[in-house]
Structure formats: C-alpha cells, structure tokens
Structure 1
Amino acid sequence: MLRIVTINLNGIRSACAKGFLAWLAQQDADVVCLQELRAQEADLTPEMRAPGGYQGYFHYADKRGYSGVGIYAKRPPDNIVAGVGRPDIDAEGRYLELIFGTLSVVSVYLPSGSSGPERQAAKFAFMDYFFPQLATLAQCGREVVLCGDFNIAHHEIDLKNWRGNRHNSGFLPEERAWLTRVLNELSFVDVHRALCPSEGEGCYTWWSNRGQAYAKNVGWRIDYQIATPGLAARARQARVYKDQRFSDHAPLIIDYDL
C-alpha cells in the first residue's frame, strides 16, 4: 500500500513546534507533500530536512518567510523537477516533482488571490501557464498525483458558505471552471471526491482563523490529491486528520493499492 499525505503547513517551523513531525512519525506514510514552508534552507533544522526515515526535498521561495513547497520521501527519487520554468512563478517556490520510475508525485501550491486584484491576477496567470504543463504531465506515460493547496473549492459541496463566497477568490466561476477543465479535458481524477462522492463537511481541509471557523466547522475543501486515472483507480481510502492542529489546514491522507 502506498500512503500519500499532503498538507499546507502555514510555516514549517510553526507546524513542527505544534507537533507535526511527532505526528508524522506515527503515520507510516511513504510520501508527504508540503506547501507553504515559509522558510529557506538555512532556517530548517536537520530534523526538518530529514525526519526519521525520510529525506526532504524542497523548492524554496526567494522571499523570506513566504510560500515554498517540499516533499518527504522514504526512497530516493530517480529525478527531481523544481519549478515550472517561468521565473516569476518559480521565484515563489510553487512546484516540486519527484519521479519514482513510472510514478510522479508533485507538491504544488497555487497562489491565493484573496489579498487583492494584483494577487488574483497572479493566480490567473499561474493557472493559464500551468494548464498546458498539466496536459503534458497527463500524457507523460507515468502515473501522476498532484498533491497540494489549489486555493480553489470546486463545487458548492466543497465549502460551508458557498452562497456568500460566489464572488470571492477561491470560489470564482473562472477558478472552478479551470479545475473542471483539468478533470474533464485532461482526465485527471479528484481522488478524495471520487472516494467520498457525497461527503461535505467531513471533507473540509482549511478553516479561516476568523470567527471561530474551525470550532464551527465553517471550512473549505481546497487541498487535493489529483491523479491520473490508473493511479486514481487504485485509491482505497481517504481521510482528513483533524484530531490535532498543526496549521490552518488539515492533512489529507490517501492510501493507494500500489
């Protein structure tokens, strides 16, 4: 069984201070995808770089305390791809791919557009640039799983207050249509939703820090594992871990019969 975990840490140092690595040691995960490191290499302790049984691989943002993605893996990859090849995007540390034979595991962090029009424009620019790369991945001959914070809730079932968020970043029609294209035109599968087709509130992975959103479970499902059909067909179980909080996001854990 292949167990893959994805989590936006909202700062690796903060998450580790809240017990993330101790929790990880108990999960028997094979691959762990991380987003929003908010750190550079010099900021990481040896344990953060290579927690017991894992080797860490990272793509840092140029700006200190901002963005960045990583992957912990139990076995060394055959190849590593850091970045998407566009300087302004890669300066923000948003894409890391590890290739293990016929399997690619990607940690990806789409921009948030919630801070204003400039960042929403950057989000749309990322999406426009990234779509053809996803098309190439879909046809690469390997099984692929994209793990990460997409900053998009796809359907009404994927957030509590969908009516009040129809004009807000993360639930804009253009964003949702883009994700629909990824799934329908490129034949990727939203693995969590495929395993839990009608589950709403139990699927949320992010909660605002405002208004007791977590306590009231006023959440969004914006963290995904999106896979090629062959790998998605091997998915057996998905769960969101909420017994402890390491971040404003919760880990998404999926087991594949692989």
Structure 2
Amino acid sequence: MIRAVTVNIGAAARERAERMLRWLADRDDDVVMLTETSAGPGTAWILEQYRRAGYAVINTPDDGDRGAALISRIPVTAHQPDFGQVSIPARVATARLDTRPATWWVSVYVPSRDRSADKTTRKELFITSLLKAIAQLGPDERGHLVIGGDYNVIAADHRPLHPGFLPFEFGMLDTLTAEGFTDTHAHMAPEAQPYSWIGRTGDGYRYDYVHVGSELTGRIRDCAYLHETRTEALTDHAAVELHLDLETARLPVESLARPTSLGLF
C-alpha cells in the first residue's frame, strides 16, 4: 500500500514553508505532489530538505511563474512521460515510479484566470495542451497514470454550480472521464461534494483532485480531503490524500522530523 498527497502551497514564504514541511513530515507520505510552487526561498527550502533526506525531487523552476513539484520516496525509473509539449512546462512535474505494476505520476498546477482575454487564453491553451499530452501516451502509461494537483476548475455538476466558468474548464474533467480516468474521491464517496478552496464570500469550490487511469481504479483504497491545511493556515487549500494498493520498494530516506540530521525545526 502506498500513500500520496497533493497540496497547493500558495508560493509559501520561508516561515509558512517551515510549518508546511512540519505537517508533511508528520505524514510520511510515499509521494507528495506540490502545486503553486515558486522560485522563491520557501519552495526552494522545502525541496532541499527532501533532497537532503534522500527523496527523489522533480521540479522545473520558472522564475516568472508558479509551478508544480513531485517528491517521491519510491525510486524513480529512467523513463518519464513526455509532457514537454505542455504550454507551461514548469506547471507539470512527471515521473515513472518503481511500483508493481509500474505507475506514471503527474503533478499539475493549472493556471487561474480572471475575465481578461489574455489569462483566459493562457488557461485554455494549458488545459488543451495537457489533455493532448495525456491522450498521446501509450495505453499502458495512460492506464497506470496518476494525475493530481490544483486543476482550478469545477465539474459541471458542482454544488453549487458557480457562474462564470467556461466550457473548456468543465471540459477538462469531462475529457479525463472520457479518456478512462477515475476521479478518486468521487469513486469513494459519489454523493459527497467536498470543497478544497473557500472564496472571500464563503463559497466553496472543489479545485484540487487526484485521478487515476483505468488499470488503477480497482486499486483505490481511500481518498480524502484534509482540511487542516486550511484551518491551520498552512495554505488556503485543502490537501487531497490517496491510498493505492501497490507494492513498492522504498528509498532509504532519513526522517524529515529529525532536527539533528537535517536541522529543520
């Protein structure tokens, strides 16, 4: 059994990054998918602590934008899915992990937008290019793919159905479903309507997700939204936790909670 989590860290500055890592260290996940990373010192510090502890860290920094990172204590194999065609490569972190069966992982941070044409076009281009990259994977890769992160979209049956979302935004989730991907939380709790982000008006939005390919649906054991990341002001997003029934060998990592070895806390 492996446990994974995705959480939007909101381009955390150093002090908040330390509190976020303290929370992550207490969890001891096999895979961590971070979104809204940045080129700032907070993100760099978190990633460096994981590297020093022996974790595999996949991150493509971009000084002018926010991004995504993938952290794993499962060995990363040589082959990685090709997502170079995605319009903003730094917002996607990918790896093939040494699980049995082998799995491919994608941590993704979809751009947000306002009403401006430029930001709307930017978001649509990113979603279109991401879905195209997924569709072009081989059937084995696609069937064993795990996609997680902040998609910045809601479903067409979201309760409430907030106004202002465009067809291409609803279409992201619809396309993933049509491609055979399973929304892991909806699979475990089909009647639930969780919110992972709360707006200034108090309205809830489900922006953060984990999807798995068709060959992994039967291996889903649990999926839950973890709201303490919001209530403890670590970030303004809930995290999403996934348990998958997979065998794996783990890297000989050090505990992130050992201040004597890493000087963390």
TM > 0.5 between the two? yes
- CA RMSD in angstroms, aligned pairs only: 2.5
**Aligned amino acid, residue 168 of structure 2:** E
Distance in 2 separating the partners of 1:15 and 1:238: 29
Question: What is the 5 A alignment of 1:67-146?
Answer: 67-79=66-78, 81=80, 84-86=83-85, 88-90=87-89, 93-101=90-98, 102-114=102-114, 116-137=116-137, 139-141=139-141, 143-146=144-147
- Return the TM-score normalized by structure 1: 0.82
Shift of 1:183: 0.9
Change in Cα spacing, 1:192 to 1:205, as seen in structure 2 (3 Å) is same
Match of residue 147 from structure 1: 148
**Which of 183, 190, 215 is matched with 1:230 structurally?**
215
- Return the TM-score normalized by structure 2: 0.80
Q: Runs (4+) of structure 1 moved beyond 4 Å?
A: 40-43, 80-83
Structure 1, gaps ≥5 residues long: none
Q: Secondary structure at the match of 1:156?
A: coil
Identical counterparts, % of pairs: 27
Deviation by residue 1:32-59 (Cα, 9 ceiling, x = unmatched): 00111122589723x5423356343211
**Which of 189, 192, 196 is matched with 1:199 structurally?**
192
Change in Cα spacing, 1:42 to 1:251, as seen in structure 2 (3 Å) is closer
Q: Is the 8 A contact 2:14 2:42 kept in 1?
A: no
Match of residue 180 from structure 1: 174
Structure 2, gaps ≥5 residues long: 247-265
Match of residue 27 from structure 1: 27
Distance in 1 separating the partners of 2:26 and 2:43: 25
Shift of 1:88: 4.9
Match of residue 62 from structure 1: 63
Say how many residue pairs are matched: 237
Distance in 2 separating the partners of 1:25 and 1:39: 22
- Pairing 1:38–2:24 present: no
Distance in 1 separating the partners of 2:212 and 2:57: 22
Change in Cα spacing, 1:122 to 1:226, as seen in structure 2 (3 Å) is same
Distance in 1 separating the partners of 2:118 and 2:227: 33
